Amino acid sequence: MTTLPNRTKAPTMTTPAIHQPLADIDLTDTRLWMSDPHPTLHRLRAEAPVHWHESNRGHPMFGHPFWALTRHRDVTYVSRHPELFNSGNGFQVNTHSVGFSDYDTFAMLQADDPYHGWVRALVSKAFTAKMVITAEAYIREITRTVLDEAAALGGEFNFVDEISAKVPIRVIGDMLGVPREDQRLLKTWTDALIDLDDVVIDQHGTPRSAKASAAVTDMFTYLEHLQQLRAANPGDDLISKLMAAEINGERLTWRQQREIFFVLVTAGNETTRNTTSCGVRALAEHPDQRRQLCEDPGLIKQAVEEMLRWGTVVSHFRRTATQDTVIGDQPIAKGDWVVMYYSAANRDPETFTDPDRFDIHRNPKQHVAFGGGGPHFCLGAPLARLQLRVAFEELLARFPSYDLAGPIRFNDSSLFHGIKQLPVRLNSTR
């Protein structure tokens, strides 16, 4: 028995000797995620499903090694055992935050109970089953309006900008109380935060994204503006509710309100936006399945689940081991980072038959596109599912024979495996 090589600290338990036949794999390289990551993820799962990943291969954003988990059962195990693997020490693999760490923008995602549970309970009131049921007509109206706007463009256009992004931005914008004329700002900010294609290294060796830093500053300046308006005239929107909310008898601090606003703006549209784009791409590449959905719209609800599985948007989250433990047969030391690769888990052949095949007749109930369960399971999942179902019901009823019109481009991100350019040509039936 030997200790792990190249550890950043001495482990508190002994572990088997680890060979490094997969040392050429770098999961933090955004180039991997801007193409097809699944051959690499399949290789990891087959050869080292709990893989010690040495980072910092020429990219100073990623300087900390971690365990990469690519099996479905391991991802769900870690997700459902927060007492062994916490979120409070961070949820990303990058060790720098490209210039806006002072804002603590993701603190809600990297919090543990009891604070996380309290905030989740507060925000979840806006995502109740009753809300989802009553929101369908409203979301369908928004979707039809967006499709009308796209049809008026004529010719070819980027589906992401004109359709995928607009519906969830309008929905979350309305929920927050952001005026329609300002909601374009939400997309501008989230685009800058997700697609980090301008990262440079400053004189201190710290990665900086001018776009991301400016976006966060502008976002919080705008939030202050809205809060000034709500102070004089509170409404039924989420910003008003955050201003009035209390925890243990005390109002939320400015920092806490910023955290929640930030997460709602980003998470409130990214999964839905990118899954819509992925689904449009998948159906274009599988015209027989698109035809079946057009003939039987009752299949769309199940097809949405397959889109979520096959085109998993959030590639990973990390946790930190709170004590010496074991994943599979691999000892994990207290303090080790473990990274759950949802993209890999959703293509695990142990859980899904022929996992690389896109199949609308599959019933992938066990997919982890919204997380693997546990306290951090996506509370907006019911709303996202509703938006996706309505989007494809309306899209396929009106444009059943759309075509891809150019190359697809993915985000420059190892966290959000989303599409930023999806050229399409709509062929209206009306």
* pLDDT in single tens digits along all 430 residues of the chain: 333 333 333 333 333 334 446 878 889 888 899 889 999 999 999 999 999 998 655 444 456 889 999 999 999 999 999 999 998 787 777 644 444 444 454 555 667 777 778 777 777 776 776 777 788 999 999 999 999 999 999 889 999 999 999 999 999 999 999 999 999 999 999 888 877 666 666 665 556 677 888 888 999 999 999 999 999 999 988 899 889 887 778 788 888 888 888 888 888 788 899 999 999 999 999 999 999 999 999 999 999 999 999 999 999 999 999 999 999 999 999 999 999 999 999 999 999 999 999 999 998 889 999 999 988 888 889 999 999 999 999 999 999 989 999 999 998 888 888 899 999 998 865 4
Query: Which segments within 34-103 are labelled E, that is strand?
Result: 50-53, 66-69, 85-86
Residue 47 one-letter amino acid: E
pLDDT of residue 102: 45
CA 354 to chain centre: 24
Which residues 6+ apart lie within 8 Å of 53 measured at CB? Answer: 25, 27, 65, 66, 67, 68, 339
pLDDT of residue 231: 92
pLDDT of residue 109: 67
Q: Phi/psi at 215 (nearest 5 deg)?
A: -65, -45
pLDDT of residue 142: 96
Can you tell me the distance from the alpha carbon of 55 to that of 64, in angstroms, rounded to the nearest whole number? 6
Residue 259 one-letter amino acid: E
Residue 18: helix, strand or coil by DSSP?
Answer: coil
pTM: 0.87
pLDDT of residue 99: 45
Can you tell me the distance from the alpha carbon of 97 to that of 15, in angstroms, rounded to the nearest whole number? 32
pLDDT of residue 4: 33
Can you tell me the distance from the alpha carbon of 190 to that of 152, in angstroms, rounded to the nearest whole number? 26
Sorted by where each begins, the domain ranges of the chain are 30-425
CB-based burial, 219-232: b 16+ in 10 Å, e otherwise = bbebbeebbeebee
pLDDT of residue 10: 32
Decide yes or no: CATH 3.90.1300.10 for domain 30-425: no
Can you tell me the distance from the alpha carbon of 257 to that of 177, in angstroms, rounded to the nearest whole number? 14
Cα dist from 44 to 28, 51, 344, whole Å: 14, 7, 9
Can you tell me the distance from the alpha carbon of 19 to that of 11, in angstroms, rounded to the nearest whole number? 17
Terminal CA-CA length for the chain:
70
247 token code pair: 């925890």
How would DSSP label each residue in 219-283? HHHHHHHHHHHHHHS--SSHHHHHHH-EETTEEPPHHHHHHHHHHHHHHHHHHHHHHHHHHHHHH
